[in-house]
Amino acid sequence: MSLKDKVVVIMGASSGIGAATAKLLAEKGAKLTISARRMNRLEEIQKSNVGADILAVEADVSKADEVQNVIDKTMEKYGRVDVMFNNAGIMPVNNLSEVARQEWNQMLDVNVKGVLNGIASVLPIMREQKSGHVITTSSVLGYELLPGFATYSGTKFAVRAIMEGLRQEERGNNIKTTILAPGTVNTELVDSINNDEVREGLKAARKQPGAEMMGMDPEEIASAVAFVIDTPANMAVNEMIIRPTGQEI
């Protein structure tokens, strides 16, 4: 089965990488379920892709029952799940001495538990189908550290471990796994950074001449996602690190 007609579920589809991936895959004829907490944003994506098969379901990935509902609705509409894209994420920035417990809990809930919820909800279906593909967005910060990003990095290292475990456990069941690890992408994630100095520093860096060397556009990451989904049946891209050419880490 090529990308056209594959059933793809995108979590965290309301903006950035998720929204760009939804648009590209819709153009390529995939059948989509898009999910996030902001239903109005999901409806905008539906409206701007008239004619495409797009189901929108609201969910907070940290809530297991809401993620399960996304998959149940997908099964009702399409009868299968070929790709689960665990892409929702948040990025508070702080030194370890300053991290508020609530912030840390929230980051674990979304970035780690959200991925586990996504995997748990599709595994029984993919095992039954004897095929499937789980893609999870980690980060270059899931491989390397930057000052202020220790907690975020912790979650992104964690999802790499979870995805490697999934690969080992499910390789006999024809379930592919991909860890997607982008460097800096120009999305709302930067605007949401809670540390003024880091946020404004990154925004200023984007405006410098040559800034295109320092950040990628979500559409470019979307094309990488389409590529890993469309590999031949007998091969999987297990890890994909994508850096802007000018980025150190």
As measured in angstroms, the least distance from the Cβ of 51 to ligand NAD is 23
Verify binding: residue 118, ligand NAD, rule CB under 6 A.
no
Verify binding: residue 14, ligand NAD, rule CB under 6 A.
yes
The single residue of 78, 149, 152, 157 carrying the catalytic annotation is: 152
Decide: 219 and 20 in contact? Cβ < 8 Å. Answer: yes
Cα separations (Å) of 81 from 44, 63, 240, 246? 23, 20, 22, 37
As measured in angstroms, the least distance from the Cβ of 106 to ligand NAD is 8
List 27, 72, 98, 188, residue binding ligand NAD (CB under 6 A)? 188
Alpha-carbon span 55 to 128, nearest angstrom:
23
The contact pattern for ligand NAD, residues 157-186, with x = CB under 6 A and - = no contact, is -------------------------x-xx-
| Phi-psi sector, 163: left (phi>0), alpha (psi -120 to 50), beta | alpha
What do you get for the CA distance between the two ends of the chain, in Å? 36
The contact pattern for ligand NAD, residues 41-80, with x = CB under 6 A and - = no contact, is -------------------xxx------------------
Decide: 21 and 87 in contact? Cβ < 8 Å. Answer: yes
List 30, 81, 189, 225, residue binding ligand NAD (CB under 6 A)? 189
Question: Under rule CB under 6 A, which residues in 16-35 are in contact with ligand NAD?
Answer: 16-18
Size of the site for ligand NAD (CB under 6 A): 28
Per DSSP, the three-state class of 33 is strand
List 83, 84, 90, 122, residue binding ligand NAD (CB under 6 A)? 90
Q: What is the CA radius of gyration of the chain?
A: 17
User: For 88, which DSSP code?
Assistant: -
Question: Under rule CB under 6 A, which residues in 190-209 are in contact with ligand NAD?
Answer: none
Alpha-carbon span 45 to 43, nearest angstrom:
5
What is the token pair recorded at 227? 């590529």
| Phi-psi sector, 196: left (phi>0), alpha (psi -120 to 50), beta | alpha
Q: Is 152 a catalytic residue?
A: yes
Nearer to ligand NAD, 130 or 157 (CB): 157
Task: Report the catalytic residues.
Answer: 152
Interface residues with ligand NAD (CB under 6 A) are 12-18, 36-38, 60-62, 87-91, 110, 137, 139, 182, 184-185, 187-189, 218
